Amino acid sequence: MNKQANNQQEAYQMYSIGQVQRGTDGVYLKVFDTYRPALKQLGQFSHVMVFWWADQFDTEEFRGVLQSNPPYAEDKLTGVFASRSPLRPNPIAMTTCKLLDVDEEAGIVRIGDIDAFDGTQIVDLKAYFPVCDRVEQAYIPDWLVGWPEWMPENGIGLEEGEA
């Protein structure tokens, strides 16, 4: 804690556990052999939170961007901590995805969609627990009111041709 107060930076090591794969048969997460045992019972859940590394934004320039005009509210300047922008000091992103199927042996997690490019590195998966991952009286600023109240069934992923 004292390091934070002194504005010192500390480095952490992260490991990729798999990759986002986009194909003609849909979108899935390919989990590396080493981590396949961690998939046990994941298929019992309806949704999974996928934490991924926004590698296309992992540059010194993008990591230095602390404010931007988000694409969903271009007339508003926000800090990156008040946005879902991949431009941030650590380009970690998270998408809650509908779970379609889990093949533990093959390391394949089929999902409805994800807003990540083909080949994007996955850094963690967490089962979605409504009691922990949603709040009863959440609110957003007025400038975001036009967004849907719930995630569409197939998610908000990349449009065809963007991946």
pLDDT of residue 84: 85
Cα–Cα distance, 10 to 128 (Å, whole number): 29
Q: Which residue has the higher pLDDT, 153 or 137?
A: 137
pLDDT at 134: 81
Question: Three-state SS for 37?
Answer: helix
User: Is the residue at 151 inside a domain?
Assistant: no
15: CB partners within 8 A, 6+ apart: 123
- Domain membership of residue 82 (yes or no) is yes
More confident of the two residues 149 and 28: 28
pLDDT by residue (tens digit) across 70-105? 877 888 899 999 988 899 999 999 999 999 999 999
Is 149 a domain residue? no
pLDDT exceeds 60 at position 2 = no
| Residue 51 resides in a domain | yes
Do the domain assignments include residue 159? no
Task: Say which CATH number the domain at 88 has.
Answer: 2.40.30.70
Q: Kindly report the CA angle at 68 between 64 and 72, in degrees rounded to 5?
A: 140
Quote the number of domains for the chain.
1
> Is residue 86, in this structure, part of any structural domain at all?
yes
Average pLDDT over all residues of the chain: 87
Write out the H or E segment, with its range, that includes residue 3.
helix 2-5
Confidence band, pLDDT 50/70/90 cuts, at residue 1: very low
Which distant-in-sequence residues (6+ apart) come within 8 Å of 137 by Cβ? none
Mean pLDDT value of segment 61-74: 89
Q: Tell whether 116 is covered by a domain.
A: yes
The range of the structural domain enclosing residue 88 comes to: 14-128+137-144
In the prediction, which pLDDT does 105 show?
97
Q: Is residue 72 part of a domain?
A: yes
